[in-house]
Amino acid sequence: MQYKVHSLVAKNLIKKCSTFRVHFNINIPCFIVTIKTLCTKKSRIDKNKQKFYNKTGDNMKRQILHVDVNNAFLSWTAIDMLKKGSKIDIREIPAIIGGDESKRSGIVLAKSMKAKECGIKTADTIYQAKMKCPGLQIFSSNFQIYKENSNKLYKLLLEYTDKIERFSIDECFLDMTHYLMNDTLLNKGKEINKRVKEELGFTVNVGVAHNKLLAKMASDFTKPDRVHTLWEEEIPTKMWPLPISELFMLGKKTVPKLYNMQIKTIGDLAQTNKETLSKKFGKHGTMMWEYANGIDNSEVKYKPEKPKGIGNSITLPQDISEIEKLQEILLSISDQVAYRLRKEKMYANVVNVQLRTKNFLDTSHQKKLPEPTASTKEIYTVAKQILQEMYRKGTPIRLIGLRVDNLTDKEKRQEQISLFDNLENTNKNKENKEKQKRLDETIDKLKEKYGNNLITRAGKMQVEDFVKFKK
Ligand SMILES: [Mg+2]
């Protein structure tokens, strides 16, 4: 069933239906509502329950991801070498990243899987490593490359949430609690894992859990390129059998002391009396008991900062060579980017469109907007122009992206009325812009309430099945 309705009617219909989709037609200001099934009593109760949970907050579990780059220094060096024309991928041979051998810093900082198979460990001396593996290739560290790749990862993760803690150069915690938008935490974790590999060329482990500790423990399970969950109910099977030395934040000096108390696994520690531990180890004892039981209430420590630019890109499930389809996808991305812009209360001055061909050829063009804006329609109009100018007919496209830059927090709309302008036209224009603004606001509210993937613009109905919003 499809209805073309006024926004108030759309709201009422939504209340009465359990499965629905609202499209907003960008050219004719109206909503198109598609209803699949009517609400049952049960789902109404569930919705109320959910509302209650969201309101109280206490009952809403935190949704945390921990993203950890596999063999970061070695992978990042490998990518850099390949980019510069190297024929060898050092991830595929026995190789290490090591400090200067002649100095005391001559130790193994990172190792390839083949080097690991030879028994080489992180922090071995280079001499030891060479003894273990005679054909070993040694490469020096380059922090500039590490920083660049770390920033690329951070930028990609910012498409999922603004609450990111950079725990180290190759590890981040993501607070996804209010950023799931109808998707599951596990799906988001899998998507990040896939996108990092495809778009940045290195692999990550992702830990999926309800707090930082469990997410961190989960990302440390089997490596590389894996996504692991560690829900509360999985603690006894996945975490407790692990040796005590694997518990996060447990110092090397503490391990033998615990061994003396016959505490050898994380499970042993979890079942030890809490008071006994705090008497022996003080505050640290309480903390290790809590960690062993999966308790951690620490927050993801992020730095709230105003973004300099906002963007998103989509790797298409199959190459597309029709400009009409590319325009539809561009509308989806414009919609999401503009929504995030409005959430930040920022206005864009520049629009940039990026295309990647089937053969991994990247091109991007940008255009200045006539005036700072956060309107989906205005951003899309310019993006569409750029696409038309840069796209060579028939070229198969594998990735399309849009980015807005030179952001400002002031609207700075100068209502310049030229002497030659017809006053009536100017007023009409102003009125249209106001109308557009109100519509954007209404859609944003609906999105926040019902999720991004349910509220889509009518122009992109065809592509929505494979174009999912990031948040
Ligand atoms: Mg790592």
CATH entry 3.40.1170.60 includes domain 72-142: yes
Tokens of 225: 């390129």
pTM for this entry = 0.59
Annotated catalytic residue within 92, 101, 159, 171: 171
CB atoms within 10 A of CB 41: 7
Determine the distance separating the centroid of ligand 1 and the alpha carbon of 386, expressed in angstroms. 39
* CATH superfamily assigned to domain 310-460: DNA polymerase, Y-family, little finger domain (3.30.1490.100)
Q: Rounded mean pLDDT of the chain?
A: 82
Strands (E), 270-324: 310-320
Q: What's the CA gap between 147 and 173, in Å, rounded?
A: 17
Tokens of 174: 């993501």
Determine the distance separating the centroid of ligand 1 and the alpha carbon of 32, expressed in angstroms. 47
185 vs 460 pLDDT, higher one: 185
Determine the distance separating the centroid of ligand 1 and the alpha carbon of 79, expressed in angstroms. 16
- What is the CATH T-level fold of the domain 240-292, as seen in this structure? DNA polymerase; domain 1 (1.10.150)
CB atoms within 10 A of CB 133: 20
Percent of the chain with pLDDT over 90: 59
The helix-helix angle for 143-157 and 72-83 (nearest 10°) equals 100
354-381: pLDDT as tens digits = 999 999 899 999 999 998 999 999 999 9
- Nearest 5°: the CA angle 340, 429, 353 is 40
Domains 240-292 and 310-460 share a fold: no
* DSSP labels, 194-241: HHIIIIIS--EEEEEESSHHHHHHHHTSS-SS-EEE--GGGIIIIITT
Determine the distance separating the centroid of ligand 1 and the alpha carbon of 73, expressed in angstroms. 9
Measuring CA to CA, how many Å separate 224 from each of 69, 70, 373, 410, 421? 9, 6, 43, 45, 64
Element (H, E) at 368: strand 362-373
Residue 428 reports pLDDT greater than 80: no
230-283: pLDDT as tens digits = 999 999 999 999 999 999 989 889 999 999 999 999 999 999 999 999 999 999
- pLDDT band for position 349 (50/70/90)? very high
Determine the distance separating the centroid of ligand 1 and the alpha carbon of 359, expressed in angstroms. 30
128-164: pLDDT as tens digits = 999 999 899 999 889 899 999 999 999 999 989 989 9
Partners of 32 in the β-ladder: 4, 23
66-113: pLDDT as tens digits = 999 999 999 999 999 999 999 999 999 999 998 766 665 588 989 999
pLDDT at 3: 47
pLDDT at 317: 86
pLDDT at 460: 46
Residues 6 or more apart from 360 whose CB is under 8 A from it? Answer: 398
171 is catalytic: yes
Residue 193 reports pLDDT greater than 50: yes
DSSP 355: E
pLDDT at 312: 87
Domain spans in the chain, listed from the N-terminal domain onward: 2-56, 72-142, 240-292, 310-460
- pLDDT band for position 123 (50/70/90)? confident
pLDDT at 360: 87
